[in-house]
Amino acid sequence: MNFAIIIVDKAARRVNIILGPLMPEMECSQPRWIGNVILHLDLDSFFPSCEEMRDPALAGKPHAVIMTDQDNNGAITKGVVASCSYEARKLGVRSAMPLSKALNLCPNLILKAVDIPYYRQVSGKVMNILEEYADVLEQASIDEAYLDCTKKVIARVEGEEIGREVGIKEEISDKIAEYATKIKDAVKEQCGLSCSIGVGITKSVAKIASDFQKPNGLTIVYPNDTSKFLEPLEVGRISGIGTKTQQVLIQAMEIKTIGQLAKYDVQKLMDSFGRKTGLWMWQVANGKDNDIVSPREDNISISTEETLDHATSDKVKVLQYLNELVDEVYERVKTKGYVFRTVGVKLVRSDFSIETREISYSNLRNDKESIASVLERLVDRFSFANNNDNTSNGKVAFRKVGIKISNLTRLEGKKKPYQQKTLLDYI
C-alpha cells in the first residue's frame, strides 16, 4: 500500500518526502508557508495513559480501560473496551471490543474501570496549556483539539526580529516544528502525557497528519506538499468518511485513495452524496476545505494559571502571584462580555495534587475589584506552613497558582464573540 511521510530536517532547511513503497525518496527545498497554521493535537491512548499516571506500575504492560457498571474495587468480569495501552493493541485488543474477546486475545490484560471524573480533571490541565498556545482553540473531544496558531507563530517570528532578509513566510516555515515541539513538551512536562500533532493549512490535513506517526508523533505537511501527502492515502483516513461511505466510494466509484477522490468529477460526487457532502469530500481531498477552527459553544468558566519558578509554602508569595493574574483574567471576562458570580483559586502542589476554593456573590459582578478583593480570603482557606520551606503542615509546597471565574452570564445586547470551551464539555 502506498504511503507518505513528511520528515523535517531543520539543520538542512529541507523537507524529505517519501512516497512509496514503489517510489524512490524525493528531496525538495523547504517551501514558504502560505496560509493558516493549523494544528491537530491528539493525546496518545488517553484513558490508559491517565491510569498509568495514577499507577506507574502499569507502564509497559498490556492494560485496558473498560466501560462497565462494575468498579475497580472488585473484579471486572463484563463490559466493553473503552481504550487500551499500546502493548495491548499489539496483541489485537481494540476499542469497542467485548471484554471476553479482549481477554481471549490477552489473558493477562490488566483491567481498570472507566473513571470519567478523573479523566476530565487531567484533560482540564491539558486544556489550560493549549489555551496558552492557540489563537483559537476548538475542542473536538476529551482527548483532541484543533489549534489555529497562525498569529502566535507570526508573532514569535517577529518577536525574534528575524525574517527581514529571507522573508517572514520562509521563517514561519522554520518555526512551525519548533512551536509544535514546545506544545508537545509542555503537555508532557506539565501533565505527564504524550501526544501526537499534525500541522497543515486546513483542519482536515492537520487531523490526518496527527494520526500518521502515533504515538508521540509530529507530522508537518507544508502547503506545497499537501497534494503529495494526501494522494496515496486511503479515503477512510478523512475524518467524516465512515465505513459505509468508504464502501460506496470503493465499490460503486472505484475510489480507494484520496488522490483518486481529488480527481473525481465533483458533480458526480454531489449527485451521489448530496451537494454539501459531495463538495466537502472533494474539497478535503484537494486540500481546499475552508472549515475554520472555531470554538463550538459558550464558556462555562474562564481561568488562568501560572507555574512558579520555585515551589513555595509562603502564603504571602502565593497571594502575590495570584494578584498578578487578576488583570489577565478580568480582561478576558470583560472582552467576552460576561458578568460573573463565582471567583475561585486553584493551587497545585509539587506532587501535582490540586486544591480549590471558591466564593460566590449573591448578585452578578462585572468589576475587577470583585476578583481581587476575595483572593486573600480564599488563600486563607488553604493549609500553609509558618515559614517558606518545602512542606505545608505535612503537605508539599505549591508549584502552580490559578484563578477561575465561573457562573458566567452574558450581558443583554452584548455582541457574542467567539468562545472557548474546555475539552471536557464534549464527552
What is the set of active-site residues? Answer: 144
Cell of 40: 491537530
> SS3 for 355?
strand
Across 173-300, the runs of DSSP E, i.e. the strands, are 195-200, 218-220
Nearest of 133, 182, 117, 189 to residue 399 by alpha carbon? 189
Q: Which residues are CB-contacts of 185 (< 8 A; sequence separation ≥ 6)?
A: none
State CA 422 to chain mean position distance.
10
Give, as one character, the DSSP assignment of residue 299.
-
Neighbours of 269 (CB within 10 A): 22
* Radius of gyration in angstroms for the set of CA atoms belonging to the chain, rounded to a whole number: 24
143: exposed, middle or buried (Cβ count in 10 Å: 0-12, 13-18, 19+): buried
Measured CA angle at 141 (ends 331, 248), to 5 deg: 135
Measured distance CA(40)–CA(219) in Å, rounded: 10
Strand partners, 355: 347
Cell of 188: 508532557
H helices, E strands: number in the chain? 15, 18
